[in-house]
Amino acid sequence: MESIRNDFPILGRPMADGTPLVYLDSASSAQKPRVVIDALSECYETYYANAHRGVYQFGVKIDEALEGARERIARMIGAERPEEVIFTSGTTMSINLVAQAWGRSRLSEGDEVLVNEMEHHANLVPWQQVTRQTGATLRHIPLTDDGRLDLGRLDECLGSRTRLVAVTGMSNVLGTINPIGRLVEAARAVGAVVLVDGAQSVPHAAVDVSNPQVDFLAFSGHKLYGPSGVGVLYGRREWLEQMDPFLFGGNMISEVGLTESSWAELPAKFEAGTLPVAQAIALGTAVDYVDGIGFDEIGRIERALLAEAQQRLSEIPDLLVHGPAVEHKGAIVSFSDQRVHPHDMAELLKRKGVAVRAGHHCTMPLHSRLGVPATTRASFAPYNDSSDIDVLVDGIQYARKTLRRD
């Protein structure tokens, strides 16, 4: 896919020693296409101002651009109205917002929040905190040995006490794509709401919050080829209207007296302080960019890369690829090489220009379940191609040879 690759300036720049870059860390953060970089520059160079404050010319233009981005994002995820899209700093803040603004006043002793063993710390720790604050109980859906939610045991942990189910759309380590439809159905049956952590899933497959109907969807701009510092919380209007604000200050108020205040309408109620304005606008450009390629095409490219990477890595002796079979996962391949520690692997792959991540990837409970302290993770995006997998596989052999373990 030479044309997609060419859209990303950084991928054409060799490393300091001249080695071409093989970027396999998009699950951590995706690279940026030229149009997104240009949208940021254009904003700062030609019409930047704070949002919702200036009546001067730039003030009007920036508001139009910001609300335009909100509308495009709302359309992409199938939100009924743009004001159901709240700009945040990223997935972590979006989930914290729900945990505190929804959970703090609604949970009490005897209530349960249901998560699972594969969650990123960002969709685990906020729930640990709010259940501790409210006396509610945190429960976990167990995993199967191949790294999927064990739905056969869902009845053991989901029941009339369950108030909220928080689940990732796609595991950031195993790549597992979770059956959101089935979870929504099960949650509805007991009157629980559903939050989906879309940090990994939103950039890779079309999402429609109305089918299956989720209550909250959190995701980040920077994994969707947009700028860092901006993310989204989608919330169903009825919830957002009922919820108290999460952060307090400027922009989120209707009227302020010396001793009390009233809250602004949506979405401003949840957007206290100055937003990452330019980043949010450029995220709108990123959404257009992704739309231009299309999720069908993105899925086609990534499925091919995943199948090839999974196959070729599985053929290497003493190397274990974690997670389920390719039909149950997205384009992430995390592995344990019995001969080379992940830290050494990442260091030695670096010499071949390969950027992968080594560590626990913010999923310590999952790594305990896998029985390893750390893994090496290669993750793919539509700008990768088959030659990147060649370099990765050669790099693994090089690492083994360097450590005299071949």
Partner 1 sequence: MSDELYDELILDHYESPYHRGQLESPSCTHTEWNPLCGDRVQLQLQIDSERRIQQAYFDGEGCAISQAAASILCEHIEGKTMEEIEGFGAPEMLELLQVRLTATRQRCGLLGFKVLKTLVYSDDGPTGGSP
Catalogue the active-site residues: 362
Where do we find the tokens 């989901």? 158
Q: Which of residues 237 and 343 has its CB atom nearest to partner 1 in the complex?
A: 343
Q: How far is the CB of 371 from partner 1 (least distance, A)?
A: 11
Query: Which residues have C-beta within 8 Å of that of residue 100, sequence separation ≥ 6?
Result: 126, 130, 246
Q: How far is the CB of 51 from partner 1 (least distance, A)?
A: 38
Mask 301-340, x = binds partner 1 (CB under 8 A)? ----------------------------------------
| By the rule CB under 8 A, 365 interacts with partner 1 | no
Task: Rank residues 212 and 359 by Cβ distance to partner 1 and give the closer one.
Answer: 359
8 Å CB contact between 337 and 318: yes
Candidates 344, 377, 396, 400: give the one binding partner 1 (CB under 8 A): 344
| 353 lies in the site for partner 1, by CB under 8 A | no
Contact between 403 and partner 1 by CB under 8 A: the answer reads yes
**Residue 341 in contact with partner 1, rule: CB under 8 A:** yes
Q: Write down the least CB distance from residue 92 to partner 1, Å.
A: 19
Which of 343, 394, 397, 406 touches partner 1 by CB under 8 A?
343
Among 360, 361, 377, 400, interactor with partner 1 by CB under 8 A: 360
Q: How far is the CB of 220 from partner 1 (least distance, A)?
A: 22
CB of 266 to partner 1, least distance (A): 40
Residue 347 lies near partner 1 (rule: CB under 8 A): yes
Binding residue for partner 1, selected from 373, 386, 394, 397, defined by CB under 8 A: 373
Stretch in the footprint of partner 1 (CB under 8 A) among 51-59, 136-144, 196-204, 342-350:
342-350
- Whether omega before 342 lies within 30 degrees of 0, making that bond cis, reads no
Our finding on whether 372 is near partner 1 (CB under 8 A) is yes
Is residue 374 at the binding interface for partner 1, with CB under 8 A as the rule?
Answer: yes
Q: Among 50, 128, 261, 402, which residue sits at the site for partner 1 (rule: CB under 8 A)?
A: 402
Task: Compare residues 122 and 346 and give the one whose CB is closer to partner 1.
Answer: 346
Q: How many residues bind partner 1 (CB under 8 A)?
A: 16
Tokens of 395: 């790099």
Least CB distance from residue 346 to partner 1, whole Å?
Answer: 10
Residue 173 engages partner 1 in binding (rule: CB under 8 A): no
- Contacts for 65 with CB less than 8 Å, ≥ 6 apart: 43, 47, 281, 284
**Nearest to 207, CA basis, from 193, 194, 219:** 219
Contacts of 143 (CB under 8 A, 6+ apart): 116, 117, 118, 149, 150, 366, 369
Please report whether residue 229 would count as binding partner 1 according to CB under 8 A: no
Q: With binding defined as CB under 8 A, does residue 181 bind partner 1?
A: no
Contact between 359 and partner 1 per CB under 8 A: yes
Give the residue with the Cβ less far from partner 1, 104 or 341.
Answer: 341
Nearer to partner 1, 17 or 109 (CB): 17
- At which residue do the structure tokens 């450029």 appear? 282
* Residue closer to partner 1 (CB basis): 341 or 369: 341
Span interacting with partner 1, options 80-88, 106-114, 144-152, 366-374, rule CB under 8 A? 366-374
79 phi/psi in degrees, rounded to 5: -70, 145
Q: Would you tell me which residues interact with partner 1 (CB under 8 A)? A: 341-344, 347-348, 358-360, 367, 372-374, 402-404
